[in-house]
Amino acid sequence: MNIRAQIHTQNILHNYDVIVRKLGKDKIIAPVVKANAYGLGAVEIVKLLEGKKPLLYYVATLDEALELRPYSKADLVVFGGLSAGQEDYFIAHNIIPALKSEEDMRLWHEAAKRLGRPLPCHIHLDTAMNRTGIRARGDSDSTFYTRGLDVRCILSHFVSSEETDTPLNQEQIDHFLSRAAQYELAYDCAIVKSMANSSAIFNFPESHFDLVRPGGALWGVEMQAGQGDDLKPALQVDVKVLQVSDIKTGQSVGYNELYRAERPQRIATLAIGYADGLHWPASNQASFYWNGQPCKIAGSVSMDLTTVILPQDLSDDDMPRAGEYMELIGDNQRIETLAQACGARAYEMQISFGNAPRIVAKYL
């Protein structure tokens, strides 16, 4: 095995408990397990979290929900809403759409009318993201369709919940509450409300409302340094050394001569490349670690291989050898640090590793 990826399940359970303590027991925790649980394996994560008995999970697509349905009796809610022709799949498999448009509302309302019973749904309001979600101008039509539906939650998404100094966060909260009140008036009942994602859980307690939606926080990913510093990273990645070589002053390493040695150096070639999720912009930027010492990438990250400079002060006996492993993500380097060196986001990088076909994770 060239790349050892380990997922520390006890850290995920620890992070879940951290969130519970942060919120109190009166809040509903709805884990977000879309994109294969951010690359960690949605089926395994759901099976793990079943011991915590969450009432619902959020996913991005109907296909993701169908994959998880055999492993949980909890509600499965699809952020992407529904499309015409999908109604029977949602109904047959007890999957709940987060209705994102007036058209979604109409389709689900007509399906409920056809069956002669209310159908469960969440309602997704766009409060500034401008991607999906019902816009304010669509509220008057959409509130009509709440009649005959089982509206279980109204939700929205923050634009910048990891940033504490932008006024947009409070503007979104106020906008959300004002619009949610219209739906509650039309529905003639209080409705569970949700805005807080992982960052908002730690940064904006006023946005906790009834239900929170942690994703990255469960995996111990910080969107900003010190944000949830009691969270523990779930993912560890170590990479096999294939070869150790000496290069002379002036010699280049890898494609396109991106690195040229200014003195005699020893390099290690590692069995990982951009096909395995290590982004090309890590070239000459990011580091691996050998016995706690950083080893900077030398030259270009290629499809299958990456080369690093070994510390000058290592004796021959302390040098890594072919077949040994160097740390990429672990005690010495969090995924956030690696992602920053690659010009990426931690979520993006974790999903890249998780979806790489040559990486098979082990659950500890």
Number of domains in the chain: 2
| Residue 178 pLDDT | 95
- Report residue 317's pLDDT band, with 50, 70 and 90 as the boundaries: confident
- Domain check: are 176 and 119 in the same one? yes
76: in domain: yes
| Residue 25 pLDDT | 76
> For the residues of 150-219, what is the DSSP string, one character each?
EEEEEE---S-TT-SS-THHHHHHHHHHHHHHHHHHHHTS---EE---HHHHHH-GGG-SSEE--SGGGG
Asked if pLDDT for residue 223 goes beyond 70, the answer is no
Q: 255 an active-site residue?
A: yes
Asked if pLDDT for residue 306 goes beyond 90, the answer is yes
| Residue 92 pLDDT | 96
- Domain check: are 177 and 309 in the same one? no
Q: What is the CATH number of the domain that holds 97?
A: 3.20.20.10
- The percentage of the chain sitting over the pLDDT mark of 70, rounded to a whole number, equals 98
Last residue of a domain, which of 156, 187, 219?
219
**Chain segment 73-104, per-residue pLDDT in tens:** 999 999 999 999 999 999 999 999 999 999 99
- Domain check: are 207 and 251 in the same one? no
C-alpha to C-alpha distance for 7 and 9, rounded to whole angstroms: 6
Last residue of a domain, which of 219, 245, 261?
219
CA-CA distances (angstroms) from residue 306 to 168, 242, 270, 312, 324? 41, 10, 5, 19, 15
Q: Which residue out of 27, 34, 100, 193 is catalytically annotated?
A: 34
- Domain check: are 120 and 54 in the same one? yes
| Residue 227 pLDDT | 61
- Please say whether the beta carbons of 47 and 21 come within 8 A: no
- Domain check: are 253 and 305 in the same one? yes
Q: Which domain holds residue 189?
A: 9-219
89: in domain: yes
- Report residue 315's pLDDT band, with 50, 70 and 90 as the boundaries: confident
- Domain check: are 41 and 178 in the same one? yes
CA end-to-end distance (rounded Å), the chain: 17
Last residue of a domain, which of 187, 219, 251?
219
| Residue 298 pLDDT | 96
- Report residue 110's pLDDT band, with 50, 70 and 90 as the boundaries: very high
**Chain segment 277-304, per-residue pLDDT in tens:** 999 999 999 999 999 999 999 999 999 9
DSSP state of 136: G
Q: Which residue out of 53, 71, 113, 255 is catalytically annotated?
A: 255
Asked if pLDDT for residue 48 goes beyond 90, the answer is yes
Q: What is the mean pLDDT of the chain?
A: 93
- Domain check: are 357 and 255 in the same one? yes
H or E element that contains 106 = helix 102-115
159: in domain: yes
The two three-digit tokens of residue 125, written as one number: 């309001």
Q: What is the CATH number of the domain that holds 333?
A: 2.40.37.10
- Domain check: are 89 and 163 in the same one? yes
Q: What is the pTM of this model?
A: 0.92
Asked if pLDDT for residue 229 goes beyond 80, the answer is no
Q: 193 an active-site residue?
A: no
- The percentage of the chain sitting over the pLDDT mark of 90, rounded to a whole number, equals 86
- Domain check: are 170 and 248 in the same one? no
Asked if pLDDT for residue 228 goes beyond 70, the answer is no
* Residue 92: alpha-carbon gap to chain centroid: 28
β-bridge mates for residue 97, sequence order: 78
1: in domain: no
Q: What is the CB-side half-sphere exposure of residue 98 using CA atoms within 13 A?
A: 26
CA-CA distances (angstroms) from residue 226 to 162, 195, 200? 11, 22, 14
